[in-house]
Amino acid sequence: VAPLPSYEGQKIDNQDPLLIRAIKGLEVERPPVWMMRQAGRHIKEYRDLVKKYPTFRERSEIPEVAVEVSLQPWRNYQTDGCILFSDILTPLPGLGLDFDISENVGPVLKKVDTWDAVNAMHLIDPFATCPFVDTALRALRHETAGTDTAVLGFVGCPYTLATYLVEGGTSKEYLEIKKMMNKDPELLHTMLKNLALSIGEYANYQISAGAQLIQIFDSWAGHLSPFDYDIFAAPYQKMVLDKIKEVNPDVPTVIYIKHSGALLERMAKTGVDVVSMDWTVDMEEGRARLDAARASAGMSRCGVQGNLDPGLLYADHSTIEERTIDIIKKAGRGHVMNLGHGIEATTPEENAKKFVDTVRNYRY
Ligand code: CP3
């Protein structure tokens, strides 16, 4: 990968791109489109780069590599959003918590499950610990300048990050964090609060580097009972969102949770700008539920993102087109077209392109 140019003296335009205009409720001719986890595994150019840069930490922390990987899907499909190639775990070393990504097992972390470990967490100084994020986001703004593209930042929410810290990695049943929740809730609350303070700070750091939207991922909060969700997930999502709004009131926010069908009203009431739905909810029904929840809370209508099943990208092209258009019609205005979760690693690139093309060619 070639070194990044200096971009010195080069201007970036500060007009809102399509994706931001759609979220702000301005008149747009079609919905914007991007795909969660669009950068990475399913793209051949990426798999070739992996041979040269074998670890995820290198690929995401060497700015020129992270920029190249972020640009691949945007160049190939002309998505309206270009998301930084990074991970929700990326800021953790800045809190004194190291992590590694094993190619086969996924994330591996030293368990944080004692008061000593939680008290040793410290507030992030993003300038000192993740300058590569700043460099990469600034470069992405330059690389996409003049193309009506939004550069997207993202963070993990405290609950989802805590699942990795308490379990020591990825999990199916989340038993360790559920044990902590029920045996030593104060320990978990302290960890969640520490995470929220740093993650809010880190989100604002991404915005100052050029991110035009922040998506907050609480991917695994859908495994909680609504009772526990209200205690261990929602308040900390709110802390992150409030911190973003306090410093950057005009930057749109999006929330995503997998298996969130039972949580849509709660997500809408966080005050987030866009609720991203997985594919297990009918778009029309979901949209109506979001509208009702916001109205009953005296809040303005929110946007909606999603919600094509990533599995549909294995269908033939006419089915991909039909099902994509069905969602666009059900969502109406204020919609960002996306998948219901990350694109699968084995998705054929021409099918991802068909999905994006369908949206790009659609007119309201
Ligand atoms: O999938 C989601 O729910 C999104 C939120 C999320 C991300 N990372 C964002 C992300 C979650 C839950 C993670 C944790 C994580 N980190 C996983 C998930 C599964 C698990 O085992 O618990 C994995 C595999 C990692 C490590 C990782 N992150 C790799 C190896 C890669 C690169 C290639 C790949 O596998 O996609 C990533 C990239 C990544 N993680 C992005 C995002 C938004 C990249 C930006 C993009 O392409 O959208």
Does any domain span residue 3? no
The protein residue with its alpha carbon nearest to ligand 1, atom 48, reads 37
For residue 73, give its domain range: 18-361
Mutation choice for ligand 1 from 38, 88, 109, CB with most ligand atoms inside 8 A: 88
CA–centroid distance, 87 to ligand 1, in Å, is 6
Ligand 1: does its nearest atom lie under 6 Å from the Cβ of 361?
no
Residue nearest to atom 3 of ligand 1 (CA): 219
Residue with token string 């100084």: 125
User: Does the pLDDT value for residue 36 go beyond 90?
Assistant: yes
For residue 358, what pLDDT is reported? 99
The two structure tokens encoding residue 335? 């919609």
Percent of the chain with pLDDT over 70: 100
Q: Identify whether 6 is part of a domain.
A: no
Mean pLDDT of the chain: 97
Q: Confidence band (pLDDT; 50, 70, 90) for 306?
A: very high
- The tens digit of pLDDT for each residue in 143-169 reads 999 999 999 999 999 999 999 999 999
Domain count, the chain: 1
Does any ligand 1 atom lie closer than 6 A to the CB of residue 53?
no
Residue 1 located in a structural domain: no
pLDDT tens column, 48-102: 999 999 999 999 999 999 999 999 999 999 999 999 999 999 999 999 999 999 9
In this predicted model, what pLDDT tens digit does every residue of 320-347 receive, in sequence order? 999 999 999 999 999 999 999 999 999 9
β-pairing verdict for 213-217 and 99-102: unpaired
Which residue is closest in CA terms to ligand 1's atom 12?
219
pLDDT grade for 103, boundaries at 50, 70 and 90: confident
For residue 101, report the distance from its CA to the centre of ligand 1, in Å. Answer: 10
Mean per-residue pLDDT for 126-152?
Answer: 97
Answer yes or no: is 209 within a domain. yes
Whether 11 has a pLDDT exceeding 90, the answer reads no
Q: Residue 168: which CATH number? A: 3.20.20.210
pLDDT above 90: percentage of residues in the chain = 98
ipTM: 0.91
Taking the centre of ligand 1 as the mean of its atom positions, its distance from the CA of residue 88, in whole angstroms, is 7
In a domain, 308, yes or no: yes
Q: 43 CA distance to ligand 1 centroid (A)?
A: 15
Residue 90 CA to ligand 1 center (angstroms) comes to 10
The per-residue pLDDT for 14 is 83
Span from the CA of 332 to the centroid of ligand 1 (angstroms) = 29
Taking the CA of residue 38 as reference, the ligand 1 atom at the shortest distance is 47
12 assigned to some structural domain: no
| CB of 37 closer than 6 angstroms to any ligand 1 atom | yes
Is there an atom of ligand 1 within 6 Å of 170 CB? yes
Instruction: Give the closest residue (by CA) to ligand 1 atom 33.
Output: 40
Distance of CA 84 to the CA centre of its chain: 10
- Is the minimum distance from the CB of 38 to ligand 1 under 6 angstroms? yes
- Gap from CA of 307 to ligand 1 centroid (Å): 18
Of 37, 44, 172, the one to substitute when testing ligand 1's pocket (max ligand atoms within 8 A of C-beta) is 37
Q: How far is the CA of 343 from the centre of ligand 1 (A)?
A: 10
- Ligand 1 centre to CA of 26 (Å) is 31
Q: Is 39 in the pocket of ligand 1 (CB under 6 A)?
A: yes
Residue 5 lies in a domain: no
> In b/e form, how buried is each residue of 285-324, taking b as 16+ CB within 10 angstroms?
ebbebbbebbeeeeeeebbbbbbbbbebbebeeeebbebb
Residue 10 domain-assigned?
A: no
Sorted by sequence, the CB contacts under 8 Å of residue 317 that are 6+ apart come out as 351, 354
Could you tell me the distance, in angstroms and rounded to a whole number, from the CA of residue 216 to the centre of ligand 1? Answer: 13
Question: What pLDDT was estimated at residue 242?
Answer: 98
What is the per-residue pLDDT across 211-264, written as a single tens digit (0 to 9) for each? 999 999 999 999 999 999 999 999 999 999 999 999 999 999 999 999 999 999
Q: 57 in ligand 1 pocket by Cβ < 6 Å? A: no
- SS3 of the chain: CCCCCCCCCCCCCCCCCHHHHHHCCCCCCCCCECCCCCCCCCCHHHHHHHHHCCCHHHHHHCHHHHHHHHHHHHHHHCCCEEECCCCCCCCHHHHCCCEEEECCCEEEECCCCCHHHHHCCCCCCHHHHCHHHHHHHHHHHHHCCCCCCEEEEEEECHHHHHHHHHHCECCCCCHHHHHHHHHCHHHHHHHHHHHHHHHHHHHHHHHHCCCCEEEEECCCHHHCCHHHHHHHHHHHHHHHHHHHHHHCCCCCEEEECCCCCCCHHHHHCCCCCEEECCCCCCHHHHHHHHHHHHHHCCCCCCEEEEEECHHHHHCCHHHHHHHHHHHHHHHCCCEEEEECCCCCCCCCHHHHHHHHHHHHHCCC
